[in-house]
Amino acid sequence: MSELSAARYGKDNIRLYKVHRDEATKTHTVTEMTVCVLLEGDIQSSYTKADNSVVVATDSMKNTVYLLAKQNPVTPPELFGSILASHFPEKYPHIHAAHVKIITHRWTRMTIDGKPHPHSFLRDGAETRNTEVVCKRGAGIIVRSGIQGLLVLKSTGSAFHGFVRDEYTSLGETWDRILSTEVDTNWGWRLFKTLNDVKSNISLFDKAWESARNITLKTFANDNSASVQATMYKMANEILAAVPEVNNVDYSLPNRHYFEIDMEWHKGLKNTGKDAEVYVPQSGPSGLIKCTVSRTKASKL
Ligand X SMILES: O=c1[nH]c(=O)c2[nH]c(=O)[nH]c2[nH]1
Give the C-alpha distances (Å, rounded to integers) separating 44 from 1, 39, 62, 197, 219.
16, 12, 22, 32, 48
59 is in an annotated binding site: yes
Does 251 sit near ligand X (CB under 6 A)?
no
**The one segment of 18-26, 112-120, 224-232, 236-244 that binds ligand X by CB under 6 A:** 224-232
Q: Site map for ligand X, 171-200, x if CB under 6 A?
A: x-----------------------------
Spatial separation of the C-alpha atoms in residues 19 and 22, rounded to whole Å? 10
58 is in an annotated binding site: yes
- Residue 198's Cβ-count burial label (10 Å; 0-12, 13-18, 19+) is buried
80 is in an annotated binding site: no
Rounded to a whole number of angstroms, the minimum distance from the CB of residue 150 to ligand X is 18
Give the C-alpha distances (Å, rounded to integers) separating 155 from 14, 70, 149.
39, 46, 19
**DSSP assigned state of 240:** H
Cβ atoms of 54 and 145 closer than 8 Å: no
Spatial separation of the C-alpha atoms in residues 294 and 238, rounded to whole Å? 12
Active-site residue flag, 231: no
Spatial separation of the C-alpha atoms in residues 264 and 168, rounded to whole Å? 26
CB closer to ligand X out of 118 and 287: 287
Residue among 27, 29, 58, 75 flagged as catalytic: 58
Does 216 sit near ligand X (CB under 6 A)?
no
152 is in an annotated binding site: no
177 is in an annotated binding site: yes
**The one segment of 19-27, 39-47, 200-208, 221-229 that binds ligand X by CB under 6 A:** 221-229
**Which of 188, 196, 206, 186 minimizes the C-alpha distance to 245?**
188
Among 143, 183, 228, 236, binds ligand X (CB under 6 A): 228
Spatial separation of the C-alpha atoms in residues 238 and 218, rounded to whole Å? 11
CB closer to ligand X out of 104 and 255: 255
Rounded to a whole number of angstroms, the minimum distance from the CB of residue 219 to ligand X is 14
Burial code (b: 16+ CB inside 10 Å, e: under 16) for 19-45 equals eeeeeeeeeeeebbbbbbbbbbbebee
Q: How many residues does the chain have?
A: 301
H runs (alpha helix) in 176-201? 195-199
Among 61, 255, 293, 295, binds ligand X (CB under 6 A): 255
Rounded to a whole number of angstroms, the minimum distance from the CB of residue 230 to ligand X is 8
Does 227 sit near ligand X (CB under 6 A)?
yes
8 is in an annotated binding site: no
Is 119 strand, coil or helix? strand
Among 88, 160, 187, 189, binds ligand X (CB under 6 A): 160
Active-site residue flag, 58: yes
Active-site residue flag, 87: no
56 is in an annotated binding site: no
Does 134 sit near ligand X (CB under 6 A)?
no
Residue type for position 14: I
CB closer to ligand X out of 110 and 159: 159
Does 287 sit near ligand X (CB under 6 A)?
yes
Spatial separation of the C-alpha atoms in residues 214 and 77, rounded to whole Å? 19
**DSSP assigned state of 139:** S
Question: By the criterion CB under 6 A, which residues form the site for ligand X?
Answer: 160, 171, 227-229, 255, 287, 289
The annotation places the binding site for urate at: 58-59, 160, 177, 228-229, 255
Enumerate the known binding-site residues: 58-59, 160, 177, 228-229, 255
